[in-house]
Structure 1
């Protein structure tokens, strides 16, 4: 979003919407009276459920915003709407940070399905092991920079899908920001979201 952009009030239904902002700010307003700022120190999850209205904005003096807005299909339709917004752990270089996962888990915020989300900032030539969970496939996305996944290059805005129960090395070929999703492919999903159909 360029500075001075307004996405007017609109509704989402039956999807979990995660706003991950590595730099800059995203300003949120909703019909519940929340005025929230999501930035590199805060994460937001809208559990839209049966319906949630919100708007998004950047002010004219805000920096240009590049972020991920992640849509997760919930396990059931018309769940109770909710919004979560809060601080997240400080990022440590060359370490995965666990940011959201299923309800009743140990992640800072939750979504209503079997999806786990991590981010990592890698220095050049640093190597980490890709997150994995039993029964899950792992989807890697390069937000900035470039890496190799084992020996396969994965560049800026490219992605890789890794089969379940694989131990895989990710090495930065330049300073990089990457995210990883551990997804249970057998989890029940809905297909009646505003976006996720």
Structure 2
């Protein structure tokens, strides 16, 4: 080894097991993943504008009555099955693998969720982003998303004014990827931002760290980090501006 060359610095990767924070309401069950908890001594359960990533389960024939959210951006990502949405703006929307929904709750947004008796069991992610300001104009986005390409990242949402298919009102970008066993990709990154990865299905190696089913990893520098699937996997990655101004008065995503 040539001692004149600087040693290669390993990226700072913090891993976290599956969350132990959950709620069981019978036909509706949720697990809260808190990205800030991956970092030792971090004083916030969230990480910058990303408050929490919630793994949600709805059995067939489940109805969640009309309720209000305030001061949070809620993204519904459904990789399989359907989630049926109604709201007081007369929207009747179906979110499925071909569509993404962003509820920009702002000053207040009322909605209900449902699966019909003949719908398949639903497992999805509901992603809570802290907005940059309180009491913004409420609204909803429901758009088709590009078909996934194996082993490639798909851009799902990003800050307002970017080329992402849908937007949130703070500095978070989200990508997903279906990685085939033994395939490798590079974790999404952005200068000055950090990246949080959640393994929805399967298992991967993030750099030199193993991250299994429903586990997560937070990379707190700008290194180019390889992600290699040790089995067929579905992963979701969030690039986050850790210094973005945030509010913390959301109904759930505080």
TM tier, shorter chain? Answer: over 0.9
Give the unaligned 5+ runs of structure 1: none
1:154-191 per-position Cα deviation (integer Å, ceiling 9, x unaligned) = 00000000023110000000000000000000000001
Counterpart in the other structure of 1:10 = 67
Native 8 Å contact 1:133 1:164 kept in 2? no
Distance in 1 (CA, whole Å) between partners of 2:209 and 2:107 is 42
Native 8 Å contact 1:13 1:52 kept in 2? yes
Give the unaligned 5+ runs of structure 2: 1-57
Counterpart in the other structure of 1:131 = 188
Distance in 1 (CA, whole Å) between partners of 2:174 and 2:221 is 15
Pairwise CA RMSD: 0.5
Counterpart in the other structure of 1:27 = 84
1:1-197 mapped onto 2 (5 Å cutoff) = 1-197=58-254
Structure with greater Cα Rg = 2
Native 8 Å contact 1:28 1:35 kept in 2? yes
TM-score by length of 2: 0.77
TM-score by length of 1: 0.99
Residue 152 of structure 1: how far off its partner (Å) = 1.2
| Matched positions, count | 197
1:6-65 per-position Cα deviation (integer Å, ceiling 9, x unaligned) = 010000000000000000000000000000000000000000000000000000000000
